[in-house]
Amino acid sequence: MTTLHDPTVRGFASDNYAGVHPEVLAALAAANGGHQTAYGADAYTARLQDVLSGHFGAPVEVLPVFNGTGANVLSLQSMVPRWGAVICAESAHINTDENGAPERVGGLKLLTVPTPDGKLTPELVDRQAWGFGDEHRAQPGVVSITQSTEVGTVYSVAEIRAVTEHAHALGLRVHMDGSRLSNAAAALDVPLRALTTDAGVDVLSLGGTKNGLLGAEAVVVLDPTASSGLTYLRKVDMQLSSKMRFMSAQLLALFDGDLWLRSARHANAMAMRLYEAVREIPGVTVTNVPQANAVFAVLPPGVADRLRPRFRFYDWNQATGEVRWMCAFDTSEDDVDAFADAIAQETALVA
């Protein structure tokens, strides 16, 4: 096949833009050949249950799915009844970037809370945790938190524990959107279980695609009493893969060893390198110190548009000129340095 793109070009729009990690491609090749039972009754999916149970410190139920939206919708559907609602940050991915899938596919009501840093607290949960028993109000049933958040912040272990303890005291379950959980664990230098099982999370959407997989995520049930019907919901929601061994093989490549950690640490380090390279450039205002693999900054008018033909990235807040730069497992030091140099040159033109 003819290569249709320039493989030397990298941008900073999203870690989804990155290719597939070579170790993952090798795992897919190793899983190929011969026949394995379809729909998850294969050796790779069975092994995945054991591997992730080791990471999360207890026997868990793992259901590979195609994408993060599917993982979130499935998780939440299994945790609340038809009349239930989900409390989440206003900036949460389930509210801002899933095109109504939780509502339209999952039949869920989202009760959103404005947050200054993308993180919920017990006090913020209480803004929507009311009306229990009122037939006129969707009944709060789940608190959903994102680690790391859409605004690049990372919950500490103590912050997660505070939310889960408060939610459980109210009779609510806790879901974690962990599309970048690996980056958060790498940033805090803690095992995955410290941010999930040990902190009281009930059901997890475990990310893989943003950390070098071809396309595989998973619903991980940490507390079996918090979820029901996932086996059927996955089929209903068109997230059941027939050749599931190839999804499970990717997840095994990531988590049956330290690839998840190596890749996340590298992406985080490149974000910090970018921050250090641009924070003193006149005219550039970096709006956060990176906590994971995202950098947010405000550029002078017109600079972003001139940079984008060479380096893809997204506007975050068009009103303020804030943009977002994401680093990935394959972002190199040369990529970062070339981008920072270009930012300095373009900014100097409007100084």
pLDDT tens string 292-323: 999 999 999 999 999 999 999 999 998 888 99
322-326, strands of its sheet edge to edge: 285-286, 294-298, 322-326, 314-317
Assess whether 60 and 192 both reside in one domain: yes
Percent helix, strand and coil across the chain, each to the nearest 5:
40, 15, 45
> Residue 111 falls within a domain, yes or no?
yes
Among the listed ranges 5-19, 194-208, 254-268, which one has the minimum average pLDDT value?
5-19
55/91 same-domain check: yes
Cβ atoms within 10 Å of 57's Cβ, excluding its own: 15
Q: Are residues 165 and 284 in the same domain?
A: no
201 vs 180: CA distance, rounded Å: 16
The DSSP secondary-structure symbol of 15 reads G
Residue 5 counted as domain residue:
no
Same domain, 219 and 125: yes
Among candidate residues 186, 190, 172, 183, the one with its CA nearest the CA of residue 120: 172
Q: What is the pLDDT of residues 268-297, one digit of tens each?
A: 999 999 999 999 999 999 998 999 999 999
Structure tokens at 93: 């991915």
pLDDT of residue 49: 98
Domain final position from 204, 236, 257 = 257
Question: For a pLDDT cut of 90, what percent of the chain falls above it?
Answer: 96
Q: Identify the pLDDT of residue 351.
A: 67
Helix axes 244-255, 43-56, angle to 10 degrees: 30
Flag whether pLDDT at 8 surpasses 70: yes
Q: Are residues 248 and 269 in the same domain?
A: no
Going by C-beta distance under 8 Å and a sequence separation of 6 or more, which residues neighbour residue 34? none
In this model, does residue 111 exceed pLDDT 80?
A: yes
Q: What is the CATH number of the domain that holds 179?
A: 3.40.640.10
Q: Is residue 89 within 8 Å of 149, Cβ to Cβ?
A: yes
Question: Stretch 14-40: mean pLDDT, rounded?
Answer: 97
Asked if residue 38 has pLDDT above 80, the reply is yes
Examine residue 26 and state whether it is found in any structural domain, yes or no: no
Is 113 within the bounds of a domain? yes
Average confidence score pLDDT of the chain:
96
Residues 44 and 187 in one domain: yes
Decide if 21 is inside a domain.
no
**Burial class for 190, CB neighbours closer than 10 Å (0-12, 13-18, 19+):** middle
Whether 74 and 206 map to the same domain: the answer is yes
* Last residue of one domain, picked from the residues 257, 278, 312: 257
CA–CA separation, 211 and 16 (whole Å): 8
Of 233, 257, 281, the position where a domain reaches its end is 257
CA 195 to chain centre: 14
pLDDT at position 318, please?
A: 84
Q: Tell me the C-alpha distance between 120 and 91, whole Å.
A: 10
pLDDT in the model for residue 349: 86
| Length of the chain measured in residues | 351
Whether the predicted pLDDT of 334 surpasses 80: yes
CB 196 within 8 A of CB 147: no
Q: 148 and 231: one domain?
A: yes
Say which residues have a Cβ less than 8 Å from residue 124's Cβ, sequence separation at least 6: 89, 113, 115
CA dihedral over 247, 249, 253, 254, signed as positive or negative: positive
Residue 319: what pLDDT?
A: 86
Preceding peptide of 148 cis, ω within 30°? yes
Domain range for 314: 260-348
Candidates 170, 180, 193; CA nearest to 59 is: 193
Q: How many CB atoms lie within 10 A of CB 120?
A: 29
Burial class (CB in 10 A: 0-12, 13-18, 19+), 280: exposed
> pLDDT, tens digit, for every residue of 128-181?
999 999 999 999 999 999 999 999 999 999 999 999 999 999 999 999 999 999
φ and ψ at residue 321, rounded to 5 degrees: 85, 10
Span 110-130, average pLDDT: 97
Task: Based on the fold, state whether residues 266 and 147 are members of the same structural domain.
Answer: no
Matching residue, tokens 């995520």: 217
User: How high is the pLDDT of residue 350?
Assistant: 78
Sheet strands (E) in the chain: 61-65, 84-89, 109-113, 139-146, 173-178, 203-206, 217-221, 285-286, 294-298, 314-317, 322-326
Q: pTM of this prediction?
A: 0.96
| Residues 242 and 133 occupy one common structural domain | yes
Q: pLDDT at residue 2 above 70?
A: yes
Q: Phi/psi of residue 117, each to 5°?
A: -130, 15
Q: Give the contacts of 257 (CB within 8 A, at least 6 positions apart).
A: none
Angle at 41 between CA 21 and CA 80, to 5 degrees: 85
